[in-house]
Amino acid sequence: MEIIAQYGPWFIGLALVFGLFMTWGVGANDLANAMGTSVGAKALTVKQAIIIAAIFEFAGAVLAGGSVTSTVRKGIIDAEGLIGNPEYLVYGMLASLLASGFWLMIASYKGWPVSTTHSIIGALVGFGLVGIGPESVNWGQVGSIVASWIVSPLVGGILAFALMHSVRALILNQEDPFNAARKWGPYYIFVVGFVISLVTLTKGLSHLEIDISTTNSVFLSIGLGILIALSGGYLLRRAKRDLEAEKDQRFSSVEKVFAPMMIFTACAMAFAHGSNDVANGIGPLAAVVSIVGSGGEILQKSSLPIWVLLVGGVGIVAGLATMGYRVMKTIGTRITELTPTRGFCAELAAASTVVLASGTGLPVSTTHILVGAVMGVGLARGIGALDLGMIRKIIMSWIITLPIAGCLAAIFFFALRFIFG
Summarised one tens digit per residue, pLDDT across range 371-415 is: 999 999 999 999 999 999 999 999 999 999 999 999 999 999 999
Calculate the alpha carbon distances from 194 to 66, 75, 274, 332 in Å: 23, 31, 20, 25
| 45: region left, alpha or beta (phi > 0 left; psi from -120 to 50 alpha) | beta
Summarised one tens digit per residue, pLDDT across range 267-280 is: 877 877 776 666 66
Q: How many other CB atoms sit within 10 Å of the CB of residue 187?
A: 14
Q: What is the mean pLDDT of residues 168-175?
A: 94
Summarised one tens digit per residue, pLDDT across range 106-155 is: 999 999 999 888 898 899 999 999 988 888 888 888 888 778 778 889 99
Summarised one tens digit per residue, pLDDT across range 273-326 is: 776 666 666 778 888 888 888 777 766 566 667 777 788 888 888 998 899 889
Helix, strand, coil % in the chain, rounded to nearest 5: 80, 0, 15
C-beta separation of 345 from 160 below 8 A: yes
Q: Counting every residue, how long is the chain?
A: 421
User: What end-to-end distance do the CA atoms of the chain give, in Å?
Assistant: 12
Burial 224-260 (b: 16+ CB within 10 A, else e): bbeebbeebbeebeeeebeeeeeeeeebbbbbbbbbb
pLDDT at 17 over 90: yes
Residue ranges of domains in the chain? 2-420
Predicted local confidence at residue 68, as pLDDT: 44
Summarised one tens digit per residue, pLDDT across range 140-153 is: 888 887 787 788 89
Summarised one tens digit per residue, pLDDT across range 193-223 is: 898 888 777 665 655 666 677 788 889 999 9
**CA angle at 267 for the pair 261 and 270, rounded to the nearest 5°:** 140
